[in-house]
Structure 1
């Protein structure tokens, strides 16, 4: 009989203690996924995967080691435990490692309230293929689209269980359903491509193949006949599709590991203003039907809603136990880990305070400048926040989009940029990062 994830994680933990570990925690992950990709009306690629991954972290004094495997036989568990303990005894000492105190562990959560799992049957491959073909057909029918590079549909389900020798034991399952389409307009050197897609926990929440195919096609056609913009200093509007990357740079800069290493452009910013006065960044890991939601982190601590930035003021760092101990602080319950990696800080669901203006209002107010819909590569100095990225999108004159642009670079300093952002009100509420279009005035633009 196949063992449950709970049984596997506990068996592995017990094997580690028997092998000589002073403390241990285990992560058991089990999942299956299926993906279908079509091209030119026929099946291009089909893939199904199933598997179980086991991760073990052992502590011997202030030394630790991590091993992982995809084999759950009893003899494999015993060998993993023995190998991990032997590795830990040879590892360097780290005064900051250790499990959570039992009194700090999460307890009494109601996983059903999070709605992380769609109870409807797994879609069969024919249904996934029908969705992909539907999106492709709609995109191809858009005037100006010359081909569809790919259309894909997928489904996944995975379960996790975490157990530790401090008494913690908990797990949950999560489903996902996705649909995407990439369309190409034009021919030869003048070809342009763009995409649309959606990913949800519940099948019934997924946007239709009609909408995704239509949007992908229209976006590709709108990008035709792009040219380089003039070099200069202009207002830049980050489209809602890519605006969350700006907030992502801030989140990376306040990661506890970066702060502990002293390699962050926000190293001195705790308790100081980093956004305009009325703007906040809220982290809420308890939102219903959102992929980033979870009742506990990878160290068994209860997740909680918190204001990372409140009315423009940075309130603190994002920490797991190790980085918090290094900084002399308490964990914010933001530990994440994989089967073969130790815990490290990560953010869950993020929301930036929306603005009062629509995207069209922001376009009107910017006058002449650049609307960015795609970012390419990045050069970001982690110590100074100097920012440079390739971009493409649309040129705006007198508040109106006039033509597409590409092959340009935008540059600035993240601390200065974030301090004067103007958000719109067009964020999609079902994403893990709810960030609207963002206008920043006076960025350097390098084009022709």
Structure 2
């Protein structure tokens, strides 16, 4: 498979040279995906997709253009290159576009050690459907569940190869599988829903479909009778299911694209303490069996472990070659790309320091406040970090969950929130983003 994709990328580079490009890089992707959904004990939806996609970026002086196609014929490859070069000649100049040089390339890697691809055979459609039916049945068996909105399984296998006119050539394969279930409890206007799911690189690592369905049902039943919480300033505990989104806002503000535009609320925070002093946030693209792992980035640079925040202090931005040049820095090997766009910075696997206390212990400490298990919508000022999101979860009094809540808004400023957070010890270590439940003091709730 990778040899076939490597041939496509070499054909694309050759066509780009003949069309007049000064430099070029090419990517070829071969993907297969399968999805199965069931409803009321029967197959509801089944879909399989297969195909090869090609992408070509050409540079003519300080101008660039990208084209893509899903046809791998020789005539299409030649047409792609000709159109890309013609587009580049009409594009505005960009003094920061760049291609990695030979001395920067990844030269040795062991993709097998990263276990990015499951070596087992693709699961059959019958096996996938059986898992979805198992999850649905387990949810329906929970007392109080009135229906299942959907239960499903997915499987994907994707191989890619990247090559550049400066001499880099490399590829790897990746797989992923998932089982999910959404359950509904109650009737009419009093209905509530919740979910559970699992996603893994190896199909055999998936949690039990029965457990997933049961937990989805139990969560939905727990939400019955939800009402608005009081309005005021209270401590808020972000459940581990959604706490990664809070750290995701921070990671987005550290993206080189936001920094060069001046549109980040952390644009002036390099070298400053943005988290409590004992907390570190580390990126590690070499964790085995984790979805964000990769041996090299979208520009052929070797990926490496780095501390984004060390002992609370921001150490650097997330950069590709272009944003690094614009900022007068070195790339952090974080370029990501698809077939139809140029590289851009993107963080991979992230792991945050966990605390010493459980979620239950943090709940007991907050006294009165809100446990958030689900968020709806987002309103964040990218320049100031002002934060406002719809939320639902559970009201806590005297350290104990007392009733479910919905239709409330949580507001604050992200920079202040990060400085005041306390992590629990409940992060799931197999996820790409390992973030535990997070307690944040003094947020504003708008409820009843």
Q: How does 1:109-128 map to 2 (within 5 A)?
A: 109-128=109-128
How many aligned residue pairs are there?
448
> Please, what TM-score do these two structures have when normalized by structure 1?
0.99
CA distance in 2, matches of 1:151, 1:4: 36
Q: How does 1:413-432 map to 2 (within 5 A)?
A: 413-432=413-432
In the other structure, the counterpart of 1:242 is 242
Q: Helix, strand or coil: the match of 1:243? A: helix
In the other structure, the counterpart of 2:447 is 447
* 1:155 matched to 2:168: no
In the other structure, the counterpart of 1:68 is 68
CA distance in 2, matches of 1:200, 1:14: 38
Deviation at 1:115, TM superposition (A): 0.4
* 1:221 matched to 2:221: yes
CA distance in 2, matches of 1:144, 1:47: 32
Deviation at 1:339, TM superposition (A): 0.4
CA distance in 1, matches of 2:83, 2:441: 56
Q: Helix, strand or coil: the match of 1:177? A: strand
CA distance in 2, matches of 1:124, 1:338: 29
CA distance in 2, matches of 1:114, 1:3: 20
In the other structure, the counterpart of 1:287 is 287
CA distance in 2, matches of 1:166, 1:211: 51
Runs of 4+ in structure 1 displaced over 4 angstroms? none
CA distance in 2, matches of 1:99, 1:125: 43
In the other structure, the counterpart of 2:7 is 7
CA distance in 2, matches of 1:376, 1:316: 30
Note the alpha carbon deviations across 1:156-209, whole angstroms, 9 max, x for none: 100010000010000000111110000000000000000000110111110011
> Please, what TM-score do these two structures have when normalized by structure 2?
0.99
CA distance in 1, matches of 2:3, 2:288: 29
Deviation at 1:101, TM superposition (A): 1.4
CA distance in 2, matches of 1:256, 1:249: 14
Unmatched runs of 5 consecutive residues or more in structure 2:
none
Unmatched runs of 5 consecutive residues or more in structure 1:
none
CA distance in 2, matches of 1:270, 1:119: 42
Change (3 A) 1:407 1:275: same
Deviation at 1:10, TM superposition (A): 1.0
CA distance in 1, matches of 2:431, 2:227: 32
In the other structure, the counterpart of 2:386 is 386
CA distance in 2, matches of 1:264, 1:176: 33
CA distance in 1, matches of 2:296, 2:94: 25
CA distance in 2, matches of 1:51, 1:340: 15
CA distance in 2, matches of 1:107, 1:292: 20
CA distance in 1, matches of 2:430, 2:81: 41
CA distance in 2, matches of 1:14, 1:357: 58
Q: Helix, strand or coil: the match of 2:77? A: helix
* 1:373 matched to 2:388: no
CA distance in 2, matches of 1:154, 1:384: 39
Deviation at 1:390, TM superposition (A): 0.2
Q: How does 1:402-413 map to 2 (within 5 A)?
A: 402-413=402-413
CA distance in 2, matches of 1:178, 1:410: 31
Q: Helix, strand or coil: the match of 1:152? A: strand
Q: How does 1:39-54 map to 2 (within 5 A)?
A: 39-54=39-54
Note the alpha carbon deviations across 1:45-104, whole angstroms, 9 max, x for none: 000000111000000011000000000000000000001011111111100002011101
Q: How does 1:37-436 map to 2 (within 5 A)?
A: 37-436=37-436
CA distance in 1, matches of 2:338, 2:318: 18
CA distance in 1, matches of 2:17, 2:191: 60
RMSD over aligned Cα atoms = 1.0
Q: Helix, strand or coil: the match of 1:139? A: helix
Q: Do the aligned residues in 1 keep the contact of 2:234 with 2:370 (CA within 8 Å)?
A: yes
CA distance in 2, matches of 1:99, 1:77: 21
Deviation at 1:2, TM superposition (A): 11
Q: Helix, strand or coil: the match of 1:4? A: helix
CA distance in 2, matches of 1:210, 1:152: 12
Deviation at 1:3, TM superposition (A): 7.2
Q: Helix, strand or coil: the match of 2:25? A: strand
Q: Helix, strand or coil: the match of 1:94? A: coil
CA distance in 2, matches of 1:376, 1:203: 30
